[in-house]
Structures are given as C-alpha cells and as structure tokens.
Amino acid sequence: MSRCQSADTCLSHYLETKTDINTAFDRFAEQRVKCGFGQLGVCCRLCSNGPCRITPDSPKGVCGATADGIVARNFLRMVAAGAGCYLHVCEATARRLKSIGEGVSPLPIRSKQSLDQLAAMFGLDAATTEEKARLVADQVLADLYKPRHEKMNLIQHLVPQERIDTWNTLNIFPGGAKSEVFDALVKTSTNLNTDPVDQLLHCLNLGISTGLYGLTMTNLMNDVMMGEPEIRIAPTGFSVADPDYVNIAVSGHSHSVYAGLIDFLESEEGQAIGKAAGAEGVRIVGMTCVGQDMQLRAGASGTDIFAGQAGNNFTQEALLSTGAIDMVISEFNCTLSGIEPIAEKQQIKLVCLDDVAKLSSSELLADVHGQERVLAEKLTRMASDQYRQRRAPEAPKVLVDVPRHGHQDVVTGVSEKSLVKFLGGSLQPLVDLVASGQIKGVAAVLGCSNLAEGGHDMMTAALTRELIQRDILVLSAGCTTGGLANCGFCSPGAKDWAGPGLKAVCEALGIPPVLNFGPCLSIGRIEMVAKALAETMNVSLPQLPVVISAPQWLEEQALADGCFGLALGLTLHLAQAPPVAGSPLITKILTEDLPSLTGGRLFIESDPVKTADMMEMVIREKLQALGVAA
C-alpha cells in the first residue's frame, strides 16, 4: 500500500507496523487525483444552474459571473469561515472570563498581573479582581457584537498607529467582527456582489479581526485564566502517554474550556478517582493545538497533570492506535473524523464539549458555566471507568504499543512576555544580534500541517533547516511547532543544524534555533513580538526584517491567518497556492499590487531551497533599506 511519509521518521516507521488501521496517511494516497477546477477556485455551485466551471471555451457562468468574480467570492467565503472559527473561540473565552468575574464560575484567576495589564491597556479601573475580569470581558464581547457600521474599539491598543491609518485609508478597518463575517456570507451569495477587489479587501478586513481578536485577544484572556507562559523544558511525542495512568487526550483550540478539568485533576480528589480504577493517577495528553497551549502554560497550570504534547493534527490517529489513550475530549477542530473507527476498536471514549465539534460517535456533554467542577468530576470518572473496563480480564484485549517517540528536552513556554524577560527586559539584544549580522533576520514558520507538500511536515522541516543554516532565527506556532518539536528542532541540540552565527547565539543563550511559541493561536503572540520589534527599532511593521511562512497550510482558518499577515504589511510565503490562481486579477493583486496597499506581499514556492533563498533576499532588502549591512 502506498502511504504518505512524514518528516518525523519515527512516526513513519511506527505507521508501517500498523497495517490494521486506516489513517490520513493512507487516505491521502487514495485521494491523490485532485479537482483542477477546485484548485484554481473557478467552480461555482451556489445555484441550481450549476455547478459552473470556468474554462477558455466557457469563460462565464450561467449568471454571467467571470473567473475573477467566482474566485474572489469563493475565497471570501473560505476566509469568512476561518474568521468565524477563531471568533467563536474568542467569544467563548470572553464569556468564561465574564462568568468568573460575575462569580458564576468558581474557577481561579491564575494571573492577576495579566488581568491588571489588560485592564490598564483598555483604561479600565475596578475595586476588585472579579469586577476587573467582568469589565474586560464585557469590552471584548461588546466589540465582537457591534454592528458592522460601528468600528471595533480595542484594535487601537493592539497595533501601531500606522497600521490603523493604513486600514482606514483602505476602508478595511473592521466593524463588529461577527457582523463582518455575517455580511461576508451575504455578499458572496447568488447574484449579489460581483466586485472582486471589494471582496478581496473584505478578506483583509476579516484577517484583521481574526488576528487581533481570534488570536491575540484570546491569548491575553487565557493568560488571565490559565496563567502566563513560562520558559521551561518539556517532553513531546507519543512517549508522554504512560499506560500506567488514565490518559485523557485533548483536542481543539479553546484552552479555558479545560480550566475546570485542570483544576480538578490538580486536586487529590481528582487523582484519587484514577487510582481507585487501578491507575497511578490521571493525566492529560495534548493531541492538537489546545495541548500545545497547555504545554506553553503548564508551568503556571497543570504542571503535574499535563503529561506533554504528543504531536500535531495528523498524528492523532497513530496516537490512539498506541492503546495508551482512554478518552478523547474535543471542543473545536482539528479533531479528525478518522479517529472514530480507531477509537471504537481501541475502546476509547469520545466526548465533545461543544456541538460545533460533535463527532457522530462522540457523547456531547454540556459545558455549563458554574458547573465546571461537576463536569470535570464526571469526565474524570468516565475516563477512569474506561481505563478499568479496557483492562478488565473479560474485556477484549487492548494491545498497548507506545513507541519511543519524540524528545524529552523541548524548550517551550516562549511568548511575547517570556522572551522579553529572557532577554533582560527588552528586545534590544535581538535587534543588536541582527544589526551585527550574527543573526541575519527572523522568520516565522507558522500554521497547520498537511500531507500535500511532499508528506507530513516535510516542507516545514526542510524549509526550517534551510533557514537556520542561513543564520535566520525561526519562531514557530501552530501544528508546525508540533511537527518541528518531534523532529528535534525545538531542542537545544538542534543548534548543530544552524549556521555558525546562530549556533553561537544558541550556545551562548542555551536555546534552540527554533523558538516554540506553541499553538496556532500564538500567531497572535508573534504579532505582538513583531509590534515590539518595530517599536524597538522605530520602524513600521512593513519595514521589519521579518518574513512569515505557512508552508503547509491546511484549512480556512489558515487563510484568515494569512490575510492577517498581509494586512499587517508582512511578506507571506505559502508552498501551496490558495484556490485563487484561476483569477489573473486576484493573483496580481496578492503577488504584485499589495505592497503599495498594505505593504504586504504573497509569494508561492514549493521548493524549500528556493523558498529560503527568497525569504533571505527579502530580509536582506529590508535590512539594506534600514541602512544595516546584510
């Protein structure tokens, strides 16, 4: 059988032994033939006259829509869906913070310092911590719920003034984010907006609210409830799943959903339930991005009960096949539906805490504010019962087969705050390293993992290796980080793969050449690093010697992330083109005209060496423009 390969060779070898399960690595091979019209974005199926496919012989749909109009409409729909996903998480996070502030939820505020900083940023004052939490949450929710004609208020605190001026000039400064998503769907319906430029500008609008609310604001609120990231050493890989424990794998993006479970499992009462089932205790295993967020903050919450991050989105089926997982809890994407038959075979309980992520075979449990501890105890008992049942003498035998996989010395907990603290209180040391030429620049390698670019994490790992060999420091967030960590890039030993300048920096500071910012939500953290860098250097964001890449982007959320980067004025690389190539106009705007609009630019390249050449050239040109020798 032809099977997709992974940059994580240990994972590939493990999958070779699993001939009895069907994973995404097998299904990708079965789905190699792609729809060319879909790849170009020139298929329209909005009405019963279609689907219409644009070709040289039929250049218009039945309604008269052109390739430019169809591509722009399809692209806006994708970006709107991605923005809606992130805003859902932001809204849920704000509502939980509000419930804590109102005294409904008994959950603790783990970082009062973060709350104080956030309240001060918004100009809020309150007599108590709880009142402060409520006021902050109310501000976020009020912004999200504004009508489209009322501009969002909190953005002004999160980006430099030059970005606000640029966005106002282009008329892409967002109104209420949920209204912007709603009207994007209206705009893309049958026989409505046919202006591709207007639709593309709406994509940038959605990118702004995605990045600053769905990403940045969600992080800042989670800092309050879950604690700030702390730089530390942590394990990754399948080896974190110890079969002597009740192992609860978590999947999704909304960290605060698990606040009650983490709080309960940190108690003797929570651990006693697992021990009564015959286990050493109960632990949480990170399976997708929410696990990476737990890993990021485990120094502040869940230190003893968070086992570690197992991998990224496309390792979850293999993780479940180890037999070491007793329950999977999901609350958002990226939970693959392919885990369902594996869970049934391995007798793994599937639970969902938000109906947006309901799998057909999972049990949906209500996540009610104020009842977090009740839910946490129920989940712990269900997982512990599953542990006991799976090991009962009369039960069908479950083979536990956990390979030696991953690394024990991954540096994690990097954030915009912990990085500054590590560097002595400012980003000036990083600026000095770039100015001296010891580090040539900074590249952010972000986003998803897919199987399309040579295999699982293949392009991501190859590009990262090329960049660090050229003395370019890499910041990583998202499923890219899960893959890079399991391939060793986030461990101190990876310094030996770096160029001489970056290697010397890594040795002097005791860091790897790839800084692990954790989940995809931390793309918002990297924006804050970019903002701080621009302020330190006294330049605009488009002038920064920084390039971003989403080498193996996967889904609609990634496209919304990309629009955020382009709106910020940064150069964005993708290995695989989004479905816009069927429109010469949209392609030209994104790759040629955008620098004169936002300062951003998109380029597509699937070869890792050519990509690194291009990224290095962009950084060199930025430095030269600032009068720094490169």
Query: Tell me: the pLDDT tens digits for 230-288?
Result: 999 999 999 999 999 999 999 999 999 999 999 999 999 999 999 999 999 999 999 99
User: Among 313, 272, 271, 273, which residue's Cα sits nearest to residue 291?
Assistant: 313
For the chain, residues classed under CATH 1.20.1270.30 are 63-226
On average, the pLDDT of the chain sits at 95
| Fold classified for 63-226 | Substrate Binding Domain Of Dnak; Chain:A; Domain 2 (1.20.1270)
Q: Average pLDDT for residues 157-166, to the nearest whole number?
A: 95
- CA-based nearest residue to 241, from 278, 290, 289, 291: 291
pLDDT digits (tens, 9 = 90+) for 31-57: 888 889 999 999 999 999 989 999 999
Structural tokens at position 194: 């046919």
Reduced to 3 states (helix: H, G, I; strand: E, B; else coil), residue 330 is: strand
The pLDDT value given to residue 335: 92
Numbered ranges of CATH 3.40.50.2030 in the chain? 237-391, 416-625
Cα–chain-centroid distance for residue 224?
19
Structure tokens at 306: 């968070």
Which positions ≥6 away from 91 have C-beta within 8 Å? Answer: 141, 144, 178
**What is the DSSP-derived secondary structure letter of residue 437?**
T
Q: What is the DSSP string of 273-322?
A: HHHHTTSS-EEEEE-SHHHHHHHHHTTTS-TTTEEEE---GGGHHHHHHT
Q: What angle do CA 341, 257, 262 make, to 5 degrees?
A: 95
pLDDT digits (tens, 9 = 90+) for 194-241: 999 999 999 999 999 999 999 999 999 999 999 999 999 999 999 999
Q: Cα angle vertex 477, ends 473, 481, to 5°?
A: 85
Is the CB of residue 559 less than 8 Å from the CB of residue 169? no
What are φ and ψ of residue 275, in 5° steps? -65, -35
Please compute the mean of the pLDDT values over residues 485-505 and round it to a whole number: 97
Angle at 257 between CA 251 and CA 258, to 5 degrees: 70
Question: What percent helix, strand, coil does the chain show, rounded to 5?
Answer: 50, 10, 35
Q: Is the pLDDT of residue 451 over 90?
A: yes
Q: At what angle do helices 268-276 and 372-391 cross, to 10 degrees?
A: 20
- 382-330-280 Cα angle (round to 5): 40
CATH number of 416-625: 3.40.50.2030
pLDDT of residue 630: 56
Give burial (CB, 10 Å; 0-12/13-18/19+) of 438.
Answer: middle
pLDDT higher than threshold 80 for residue 325: yes
**Which pLDDT band, with edges at 50, 70 and 90, does 158 fall under?**
very high
pLDDT digits (tens, 9 = 90+) for 554-604: 999 999 999 999 999 999 999 999 999 999 999 999 999 999 999 999 999
How confident is the model over 534-546, as pLDDT tens digits?
999 999 999 999 9
Query: 237-391, which class in CATH?
Result: alpha beta
**How far is Cα 200 from Cα 195, in angstroms, rounded to an integer?**
9
The amino acid at 323: G
